[in-house]
């Protein structure tokens, strides 16, 4: 009887411990009511669609939401024509697909199909620049997660092949901006944003596309890792290469404060990008590097910001008293860290997760949410500060990565409940 009693005590203690562990994990997420925020996003999507609807009840699917600028009086989005030149055009369809996944709202699905379809032609024309990844994988990629359409898959594969035409084997990276080669004397230029577009190439290689795409993506990631970063892990926006020797010439900025500064969104692309590369490759080198570029971001954020939202550039001499913030960078980082924490595990992984959750909790306050002011999810992003473009604005890609991050949290919550409480 004593042995049975001890066993029962041990089992009870084990269940209690597991329950306490689960509760502690849930408590850590109490500052962020993910279901409430997903409902908020759905409400904003509905308001946006109402604003986009024409007088006859139809939509002009060729006009994709881009921004709502500071000082705009209208509540709806400023839209841009769906063209290869408009790099943000894939984010709105992606938002609609993600919202549909959460709500099963058929009106949202219909809109998602329409806005996605308007981009189709981009896949079958000469590649304009690296942004074809943002354009096609954020739209058709999210759509494929829902419908598993062969047509969607074909578009993604064609887009990946198109992006591959910009790869320079001498340099070992994808040419980002063909249009900037002559005006700026950047013979072969690669920007940090390009790391995000490797996602489409990796996916294509693993889903029926050309296997060479995988090798090109890995080579790009390695070359970028070697040349695009300073010793502390902070990145340049642009790396310029010689097309004859393939040698790295210089690192410069285009959208940052200076050539030596930490442009926040550029660093966020690096965090997300190398986390994603590890997902596909499982090469420890990329996991270690993803942590390095994350750790310098967190360190500098704590030094330069008064909350979890970074200044547009962490070296802007005005600091928190005058420099605008960039909510979009915070969204990308939070999104990435919710994935990275799973790979890192342990105490450090938990730190990454908590940082992401705290970031999202702050983004989900009235300080950063648009609420009734307009139809966007979030305010206070910065696009191209040196050009005076989209400063302290609502920008569509901030909303995209915010919603993607919320969906990741939802999945974490589900895991905790089912693993420890059922």
The CA-CA-CA angle for residues 399, 340, 418, to 5°, reads 85
CA distance 28 to 215: 40
Which three-class secondary structure state does DSSP give residue 206?
helix
Are 111 and 99 a contacting pair, CB within 8 Å?
A: no
Q: Which residues are catalytic?
A: 131, 193
E-assigned strand segments in 194-352: 238-241, 248-252
**How many beta carbons lie within 10 A of that of residue 195, not counting itself?**
29
Distances (CA, A) of 357 to 24, 33, 165: 14, 10, 39
Token pair 């759509």 is found at 143
Outline where 53-206 has alpha helix (H). Answer: 91-103, 106-117, 132-136, 142-147, 150-164, 194-206
SS3 393: strand
Name which of 364, 355, 312 is nearest 335 in CA terms: 355
Break the chain down into helix, strand, coil percent, rounded to 5.
Answer: 55, 10, 35
Q: Which of 134, 105, 108, 135 lies closest to 120 in space, CA to CA? A: 135
Element (H, E) at 394: strand 394-395
Alpha carbon of residue 375 to chain centroid: 20
Backbone angles phi, psi at 22, to 5 degrees: -60, -45
Report the alpha-carbon distance of residue 142 to residue 109 in Å, rounded: 12
In the block, residue with structure tokens 């409480």: 421
What is the spatial distance between Cα 378 and Cα 50, in angstroms, rounded to a whole number? 18
């Amino acid at each position: 009887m004593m042995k049975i009693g001890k066993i029962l005590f041990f089992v009870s203690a084990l269940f209690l411990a597991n329950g306490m562990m689960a509760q502690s994990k849930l408590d850590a997420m109490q500052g962020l009511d993910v279901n409430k925020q997903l409902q908020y996003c759905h409400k904003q999507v509905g308001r946006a669609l109402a604003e986009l609807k024409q007088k006859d009840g139809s939509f002009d699917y060729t006009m994709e939401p881009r921004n709502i600028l500071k000082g705009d009086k209208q509540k709806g989005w400023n839209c841009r024509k769906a063209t290869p030149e408009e790099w943000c055009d894939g984010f709105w369809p992606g938002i609609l697909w993600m919202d549909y996944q959460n709500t099963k709202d058929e009106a949202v699905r219909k809109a998602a199909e329409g806005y996605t379809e308007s981009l189709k032609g981009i896949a079958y024309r000469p590649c304009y620049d690296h942004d074809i990844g943002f354009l096609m994988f954020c739209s058709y990629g999210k759509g494929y997660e829902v419908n598993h359409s062969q047509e969607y898959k074909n578009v993604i594969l064609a887009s990946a092949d198109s992006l591959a035409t910009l790869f320079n084997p001498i340099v070992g990276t994808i040419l980002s901006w063909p249009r900037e080669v002559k005006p700026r004397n950047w013979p072969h230029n690669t920007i940090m944003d390009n790391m995000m577009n490797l996602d489409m190439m990796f996916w294509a290689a693993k889903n029926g596309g050309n296997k060479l795409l995988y090798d090109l993506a890995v080579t790009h990631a390695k070359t970028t890792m070697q040349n695009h970063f300073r010793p502390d892990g902070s990145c340049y926006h642009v790396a310029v290469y010689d097309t004859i020797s393939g040698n790295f010439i210089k690192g410069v900025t285009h959208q940052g404060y200076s050539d030596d500064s930490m442009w926040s969104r550029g660093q966020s692309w690096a965090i997300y990008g190398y986390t994603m590369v590890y997902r596909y490759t499982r090469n420890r080198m990329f996991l270690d590097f993803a942590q390095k570029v994350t750790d310098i971001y967190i360190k500098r954020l704590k030094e330069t910001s008064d909350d979890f939202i970074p200044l547009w550039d962490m070296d802007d001499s005005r600091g928190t008293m005058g420099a605008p913030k960039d909510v979009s960078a915070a969204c990308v980082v939070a999104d990435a860290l919710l994935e990275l924490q799973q790979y890192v595990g342990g105490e450090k992984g938990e730190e990454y997760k908590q940082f992401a959750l705290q970031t999202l909790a702050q983004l989900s306050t009235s300080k950063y949410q648009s609420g009734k002011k307009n139809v966007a999810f979030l305010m206070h992003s910065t696009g191209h500060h040196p050009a005076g473009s989209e400063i302290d604005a609502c920008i569509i890609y901030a909303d995209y990565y915010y919603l993607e991050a919320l969906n990741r949290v939802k999945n974490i919550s589900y895991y905790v409940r089912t693993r420890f409480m059922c």
